[in-house]
Amino acid sequence: MAEQNAPTLKRSIGLWSAVAINIGAIVGGGIFVVTGIVAGYAGSAFIISMIVAGLIAFITAMNLAKLTAWRPVEGGVYEYGRQLVRPSVGFLGGWMWLVANTFTGAAVALGFAYYLSAAVPGLAVNVVAAVMCLVFTGLNLIGARESATINNVLVAVKLLVLAFFVIFGSLYANSANFAPFVPLSSGVLYAVFFIFFAYGGFARVTVIAEEIKDANRNVPRALLLSLGISMVIYVCVGLVAVGLLGADGLAGSASPLSTAMDVTGVMGTGQIIAIGGLVATASVLLTNIFGVSRMAYSMARRNDLPSVLARLHGKRFTPYYAIICTGLLMAGLVLFVDLTRVVAVSTFSLVFTYCIVNLSAYKLGTKRSSVQQRFLALLGLGTCLMLLGFVLFASPDAWVIGIAFLLAGAGYYLLTKHWRRQKRVLANDTDTPKCPSEISDVTP
pLDDT digits (tens, 9 = 90+) for 276-287: 878 887 888 888
Residue 107's φ and ψ, nearest 5 degrees, are -65, -45
pLDDT cut 70: percent of the chain above it: 91
Q: Residue 429 — pLDDT band, cuts 50, 70, 90?
A: low
> pLDDT tier at 30 (50, 70, 90 boundaries)?
low
The predicted pLDDT at position 126 comes to 83
How do residues 171-224 score in pLDDT, each as one tens digit? Answer: 998 888 888 888 888 788 878 877 887 787 788 888 888 888 888 899 999 999
Give 91-95 contacts, CB < 8 A, sequence gap 24+.
Answer: 91/299, 91/304, 91/409, 91/413, 92/356, 92/406, 92/409, 92/410, 92/413, 93/352, 93/353, 93/356, 93/357, 94/295, 94/298, 94/299, 94/304, 95/299, 95/405, 95/406, 95/409, 95/412, 95/413
Q: What would the mean pLDDT of 244-272 be, rounded to a whole number?
A: 83
Query: Which range, of 176-190, 343-357, 398-412, 420-434, averages the lowest pLDDT?
Result: 420-434
Evaluate whether 361 touches 62 at the Cβ level (below 8 Å).
Answer: no
* Cα–Cα dist 258/245, whole Å: 10
What does the alpha-carbon distance between residue 237 and residue 36 come to, in Å, rounded to a whole number? 13
More confident residue, 410 or 394: 410
Band of pLDDT at residue 29, cut at 50, 70 and 90:
low
- pLDDT band of residue 437 (cuts 50, 70, 90) is very low
For residue 363, the model assigns a pLDDT of: 93
Among residues 90, 122, 6, which one has the least CA distance to residue 359? 90
The whole model's pTM is what?
A: 0.83
- Pick the closest to residue 66 from 366, 385, 388 (CA basis): 366
Percent of the chain surpassing pLDDT 90? 23
Q: How far apart are CA 359 and CA 92, in angstroms?
A: 13
Non-local (6+) Cβ contacts of 389 within 8 A are none
Q: Residue 76 and residue 74: Cα distance in Å, rounded?
A: 6
Residue 304: the pLDDT is 92
User: Could you tell me the pLDDT band of residue 2, with boundaries at 50, 70 and 90?
Assistant: very low
Find, among 228, 246, 248, the residue nearest to 238 by Cα.
246
**What is the rounded distance in angstroms from the CA atom of residue 8 to the CA atom of residue 327?**
22
